[in-house]
């Protein structure tokens, strides 16, 4: 394992109770950081925090609730003194349906969590990063945001929006030592698969030239670099981790 030095850093990982978020939390702690897991499943978040160690604290929050996000931001600032790293990872897949079969409310739900959520968390945390003159923001988008998966227009659109949010905010903060980048993973076998049809899972696997799903640890390694000082000149950028699927 390559070491990226996160000693003394404080990170917020949304949706850190399981899946990608848990692997990112593991990797951050192994690199010397303290991590605040923000998850609406507080039971699982607390279990995960306990299993990883005293460097991790769990906070219950729904990332779509601006007042709730501001409240936990203040709690983290009080407990840890600062926030250096924000990983916008909380997200859902939504139901696999064609556009014309998708309810407007289902569409909005996916957009709310996957796109409004990162906007709300950035809006709440960036001022603290500006004050301290340092920050690293990593947005967990998806290859679906670049390619557009059939039967997942809400999800694909939310991740395309997250890529654009990354590019806009990256430019807004480029004069500061605050970098904003996105990663676009292929599918990984996590609990999110429970929300998808088997047909959709098979479709995603069939699209990956490497012929397998990405491992959560592989994604965490990329995120650890993007969250570190070693990443110093990349911002507003999109980092592929799609096993060869991405064509741009
Ligand atoms: N697993 C994949 O195939 C895959 C591929 C590409 C991108 N992604 C993205 O990676 C991220 C993590 O996915 P995962 O596979 O680890 O999912 P997961 O379902 O295993 O974990 C998601 C976590 O987010 C939390 N969460 C969901 N909605 C929330 C909300 N409103 N507020 C706070 N917490 C909330 C859940 O409680 C859960 O702990 C998501 O943004 C997902 O879209 C996943």
State mean pLDDT over 18-37.
98
Residue 166 CA, ligand 1 centroid: distance in Å: 18
Please say if the pLDDT value at position 76 is more than 90: yes
For a mutational test of ligand 1's pocket, the pick from 14, 20, 143, i.e. the residue with the most ligand atoms closer than 8 A to its C-beta, is: 20
Residue 188 CA, ligand 1 centroid: distance in Å: 11
DSSP classification of residue 92: -
pLDDT in tens, 140-190: 999 999 999 999 999 999 999 999 999 999 999 999 999 999 999 999 999
Q: How far apart are CA 177 and CA 223, in angstroms?
A: 17
Query: Both tokens of residue 167?
Result: 């590019």
pLDDT in tens, 201-222: 999 999 999 999 999 999 999 9
Write down the mean pLDDT value for the chain: 97
Please say if the pLDDT value at position 1 is more than 80: no
Please say if the pLDDT value at position 63 is more than 90: yes
- Residue that has been written with the tokens 């995960």 in this structure: 48
Q: How far apart are CA 33 and CA 68, in angstroms?
A: 24
Strands across the sheet with 10-14, in order?
56-60, 34-39, 10-14, 85-88, 135-140, 178-185, 237-241
Q: How far apart are CA 193 and CA 86, in angstroms?
A: 25
Residue 209 CA, ligand 1 centroid: distance in Å: 24
Q: What is the pLDDT of residue 204?
A: 95
Radius of gyration, alpha carbons of the chain = 17
> Which among 165, 116, 113, 120 is positioned nearest to 139, based on CA atoms?
165
State mean pLDDT over 127-146.
98
Please say if the pLDDT value at position 52 is more than 90: yes
Please say if the pLDDT value at position 2 is more than 90: no
State mean pLDDT over 41-55.
98
- Measuring from atom 16 of ligand 1, which residue has the nearest CA? 19
Q: What is the pLDDT of residue 128?
A: 98
**Which domains can be identified in the chain, with CATH numbers?**
10-241 (3.40.50.720)
Which residues have CB under 6 Å of ligand 1?
Answer: 14-15, 17-21, 39-41, 62-64, 89-92, 113, 117, 140, 142, 185, 187-188, 190-192
Contact 21, 15 (CB under 8 A): yes
């Amino acid at each position: 394992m390559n070491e990226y030095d996160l000693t003394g850093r404080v990170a917020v990982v949304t949706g850190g109770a399981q899946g990608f978020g848990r692997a990112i939390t593991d990797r951050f702690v192994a690199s010397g950081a303290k991590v605040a897991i923000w998850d609406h499943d507080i039971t699982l978040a607390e279990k995960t925090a306990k299993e990883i160690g005293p460097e991790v604290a769990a906070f219950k929050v729904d990332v779509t609730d601006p007042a709730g996000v501001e409240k936990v931001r203040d709690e983290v600032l009080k407990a840890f003194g600062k926030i250096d790293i924000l990983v916008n990872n909380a997200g859902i897949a939504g139901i696999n349906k064609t556009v014309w079969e998708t309810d407007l409310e289902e569409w909005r739900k996916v957009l709310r969590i996957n796109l409004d959520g990162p906007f709300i968390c950035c809006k709440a945390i960036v001022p603290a990063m500006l004050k301290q003159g340092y920050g690293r923001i990593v947005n967990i988008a998806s290859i679906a945001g670049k390619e557009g998966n059939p039967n997942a227009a809400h999800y694909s659109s939310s991740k395309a929006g997250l890529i654009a949010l990354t590019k806009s905010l990256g430019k807004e903060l480029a004069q500061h030592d605050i970098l904003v980048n996105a990663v676009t993973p292929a599918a990984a076998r996590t609990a999110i698969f429970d929300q998808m049809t088997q047909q959709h899972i098979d479709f995603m696997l069939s699209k990956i030239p490497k012929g397998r799903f990405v491992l959560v640890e592989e994604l965490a390694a990329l995120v650890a670099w993007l969250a570190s000082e070693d990443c110093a000149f990349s911002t507003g950028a999109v980092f592929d981790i799609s096993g060869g699927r991405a064509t741009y």
